[in-house]
Amino acid sequence: MTSSSSLAVRELPLFPLPGVVLFPGRPLPLHVFEPRYRMMLNTVMESDRQFGVLLWDSDNQEAARVGCSAEVAQLQRLPDDRINILTVGVQRFRLLEYVREKPYRVGLVEWIDDEFTQQPLQGLVRDVQNLLNDVVHLSGKLTDKEIDLPDDLPDDPVELSYWIGGNFQGAADEQQLLLELLDTEKRLRREAEILDTTCKHLAARTALKDTFSDREA
C-alpha cells in the first residue's frame, strides 16, 4: 500500500458516499456507475490510484470535512462501462476547501494522524479485545452460527481502533465521530463503551432466548 504521509497537503479527487465511513486499513468494495465517477477513476488510475471517501449527509446535502483516502487495489471493467473496484483505506484527511466541483469534486486536503502519546495502551487494547470476543461469542450463540474473529486482528492500538471503527457498520454517525478523533485512547475507550453496551444487549437477548427454549423443551 502506498503511504501518503510524505505529502502534508495535496489535491485529492473526492467520492462522497451516504452511509459509508472508511477507516485506514479497511477494505471498501464499490460499484461505480455514474459517468463522473467513472471519469474520476480513469484519472486516478493514471496517477497514484487514490481518491478520498467522505460521508455524505443526504439531509443537509453536504459532505463531512474529515474522510479517508482509498487506494484502488483491484479494478474490473464491465461491458456496459460500469466498474467494480476493491479499495483499501490509506490515511485520514481533513478537507480544507474545494478546488472544483465539476465534473467531480476535487478538494485541497491535509493528512491527519493521531497525536503521539507515551501513555501505555496495551491494557486498554486487551480490554477491548476481550469485549470484542464477548460480542462475537454472544452473537454466535444468539444466531446459532459459529462466528470467529480473524487471526490477524491487530494488536497495535491505532490499527485496532481503526479495525473496530470500520466494523461498526450501520452506525455511520458514530463511525464518523470515531474517525475524527485524534486521540487513540479516546477512540478505544469510546469503542469499549459501545462494545460493552452491545454485550449487555446481546446477553439479555440470549437469556430471553434460552428461557423460551427451556419452556418449549
pLDDT digits (tens, 9 = 90+) for 199-214: 999 999 888 766 655 5
pLDDT at 9 over 50: yes
pLDDT at 165 over 80: yes
Alpha-carbon distance 209 to 194, whole Å? 22
Lowest mean pLDDT among 4-8, 24-28, 41-45, 176-180: 4-8
Q: Are residues 21 and 98 in the same domain?
A: yes
Alpha-carbon distance 64 to 179, whole Å? 11
Q: Are residues 134 and 180 in the same domain?
A: yes
Q: What is the dihedral of CA 164, 169, 171, 175, to 10 degrees?
A: 40
pLDDT at 54 over 90: yes
Q: Are residues 127 and 199 in the same domain?
A: yes
Enclosing domain of residue 93? 9-111
What is the pTM (predicted TM-score) of this model?
Answer: 0.90
CATH number, domain with residue 95: 2.30.130.40
Where is the domain boundary, 81, 111, 141?
111
Q: Are residues 126 and 185 in the same domain?
A: yes
- pLDDT tens column, 63-95: 999 999 999 999 999 989 899 999 999 999 999
